[in-house]
Structure 1
């Protein structure tokens, strides 16, 4: 049986089924392994990992610990509760009018993010005048219809993860800021911080960034040094304001003080740093990397809820979920009718009933004529959030454009 235990309950002889944290938050070769000594237990505690999942068939048990299914049932209940709160739907234009424009903008953003990283690698300064117009365009697009740009941010090339992740974080921060009703000027700074938050990774060797094995302590420290390096690279750069700097400085801090580089806790972390931490983790764990496959968006949102007991402000996590939806735009979903499709648009006040473009039948394993289905107007409901890779479906072909 798979059970969730507190990390301080972990003992040698147990088998960790899931370290229950992001891939970049630990130096181990895998998220699952047999615990052979107390030093490993101490290291997990030192990393700020509060809870892990153990496999009681492969290792020692903890009596009375909740099962994974019990934990998931509670997280599902909390998602349902969040869905009952009526969010505003920030739509100015129709999705069809914004989709093609958002796709072009996403391509331009990825090209520019690559150029910025290449400049830094060559010792060139950050040229903020090239980035500001892009930030303005991204903010305007999300304000017109966020369901056009956000699914584009899910499309990443394994070899280009670092800068494409920055574009995804920027887009999500814009939607988050809009849901928080922040001033547009603050949202523009948030987006700027998102684009630049990992710029210091330009000085982290590719062999460390993409290492498909356990990191040494020195390699892990080098990976974490990207925060200080990012701040150094924007020092003295006009146009990178205080909000953007807080995003860069604090996106790896955690609410319980277990993050880095300063181990800030609670309200010592700025609002913008807390928002960036949530978005950074969400985009990271939903993205494919050379050493790990991303999880479906709804599963990732449940992880954010689970981790909000320690690492994030629970109210901010709930606001983020309402901002992007229980089944975020771009998610592959399976309906109770066994039909499958991609979520193309959220329905105001009905987060469990988005608009889905149906194109596949899971039971019969074949494509069907594409059909746009508004779940708020039919009896069919979403049964699960699925993986594109599992079904060998190309997301590029079905996302809004």
Structure 2
């Protein structure tokens, strides 16, 4: 049986089934292992991890701990309680915005690629060159955020650093809009997202792309990208304070377990707390050379769990409202037995997105793609509801074919 326990409950002889952290966020060589010594207990306690999953069939049990299913059910109840206030209204139809969004996303990728190449070569960086594309991304988000959210799902492993930067830029703009920030602040947050990993231009590409676990020395080198990036921004005139905060603070954690300054709570600005949430969400939903992506819906649930310690819980709730309980790109199972991909959120409810139905799970075959608006009744393009999310790998479905 798989159970969820607090780190302080871990004892020698327990079998760790899941460290409940990103692959690089725990200090052990394996992702599943039996705790064999007090030294390993101390190492786990010092890692900053707060909760793990144990396999009681392979190690010592904890009698009163919730099972994995019970813990997931509790998270689900809390998430569904967020489906209350209306979201920001869509101004332009998705079909009308998609072409512009695709062009803007590509422009943003080219812009950050150029800036990072200049940084790598030690050239002077020009902040003015970034402003037009940042303003276009923010404008697309304001017209219809679903279009840009669709673009961030179409990533290629070789271009991860650039596409991650544009995706964080996009989601920070949407997040800032959800918080009713002024337009100038939305632009500043988006600029910070685009530049937040610029310090990686000075980090060894061999280490960044290493397909195996990093050594302690290599991990320290990677973490230096925050300080390196901050030094670069200080040399660029006209960088807004909010943009600088996004870069400088996106690896800080609310409980003080982050880096490089180990700040905690309100020592981290709101911009920094927002950036930490967005950066982790995009990272864990992206395919990496050392880590398989998890689904957007699963990532939302992970963030919700981690918000008890690592993130500002109130901001995580607002972030969920900006991307959805079932974000764009999530494979969901409908009550009818069909599987579909979420392609658009509805402002009326987080539980009634537009779903592109593609597969009959009961008969195990593809069906002609059809968009179903779950906010509408049967006979008006709706008449179904989400009963859960699914893993594309389980069904061998390539989502990119249908987005």
Q: What TM-score do the two structures reach when normalised by structure 2?
A: 0.95
CA-based RMSD: 1.6
SS at match of 2:130: helix
Cα distance 1:28–1:198, how it changes in 2: closer, same or farther (>3 A)? farther
Q: Which moved more, 1:27-36 or 1:247-256?
A: 27-36
Match of 1:261 in 2: 260
**Contact 1:335/1:381 (<8 A) preserved:** yes
Partner of 1:314: 313
Q: Residues 94 and 338 (structure 1 numbering): CA distance in 2 closer, same or farther, change over 3 Å?
A: same
1:366 aligns to what?
365
Following superposition of structure 1 onto structure 2, how do residues 2-401 of structure 1 map, counting pairs within 5 Å?
2-83=2-83, 85-377=84-376, 378-399=382-403
Deviation readout 1:221-247 (Å, 9 max, x if unpaired):
112111111101111202321101111
Distance in 2 separating the partners of 1:98 and 1:222: 41
1: distance between equivalents of 2:205 and 2:12? Answer: 34
- Whose relative contact order is higher, 1 or 2, with alpha carbons under 8 Å and at least 6 apart? 1
- What are the Cα deviations for residues 121-179 of structure 1, in whole angstroms up to 9, with x where unaligned? 22223222221111010000000000010121122111221121111111010110000
Q: CA deviation at 1:27?
A: 4.4
Distance in structure 1 (CA, Å) of the matches to 2:394 and 2:154: 16
**Alpha-carbon shift at residue 193 of structure 1 (Å):** 0.7
Q: Distance in 2 between matches of 1:89 and 1:30?
A: 43
Residues 255, 27 of structure 1: alpha-carbon distance in 2 compared, 3 angstrom cutoff: same
1:324-382 Cα shifts (integer Å, max 9, x gaps): 11111222222122212221211222111111111222232322122111112233211
The range that moved more, 39-48 or 151-160, is: 39-48
Deviation at 1:29, TM superposition (A): 3.8
Pair 206,391 (structure 1): closer, same or farther in 2 beyond 3 Å: farther
Spell out, residue by residue over 1:50-88, the C-alpha distance to the aligned partner (whole angstroms, 9 max, x if none): 1111111122222211111111010010111011x1232
The 1-side partners of 2:15 and 2:296 are apart by: 27
| Cα 1:317/1:192, change in 2 over 3 Å | same
> In the TM superposition, what whole-angstrom CA distance separates every residue of 1:235-276 from its partner, at most 9, and x where no partner exists?
120232110111111111111111111111111100000000
| CA displacement, residues 179-206 of structure 1 (integer Å, 9 cap, x when unaligned) | 0001111111111111111111122223
Structure 1 contact 125–233 (Cα < 8 Å) conserved = no
Conserved? CA contact 1:360–1:368, under 8 Å: yes
Mapped contact 1:173–1:279 kept (Cα < 8 A): yes
Q: Distance in 1 between matches of 2:268 and 2:89?
A: 28
Count matched residues.
398
Mark the CA change 1:51 to 1:176 in structure 2 (over 3 Å): closer, same or farther.
Answer: same
Distance 1:154 1:26 in 2: 27
Once the two structures are TM-superposed, the CA of residue 96 in structure 1 deviates from its matched residue by: 0.9
Q: Which deviates further from its counterpart, 365-374 or 35-44?
A: 35-44
Q: Which moved more, 1:331-340 or 1:165-174?
A: 331-340
Give secondary structure in 2 for the equivalent of 1:213. coil
Q: How far apart in 1 are the matches of 2:85 and 2:341?
A: 23
Matched position secondary structure for 1:92: coil
What TM-score, normalized by structure 1, do the two folds share? 0.95
**Runs (4+) off by over 4 Å:** none
Q: Provide closer, same or farther for how the CA distance between residues 393 and 124 of structure 1 changes in structure 2, counting only shifts above 3 A.
A: farther
Q: Distance in 2 between matches of 1:104 and 1:37?
A: 55
CA contact (8 A) 1:6 1:51 kept: yes
What is the rounded CA distance, in whole Å, between the counterparts of 1:248 and 1:41 in structure 2?
A: 33
The separation in 2 between residues aligned to 1:391 and 1:202, in whole angstroms, is 38
Q: Structure 1 residue 23: deviation in Å?
A: 2.8
Structure 2, unpaired ranges of 5+: 377-381
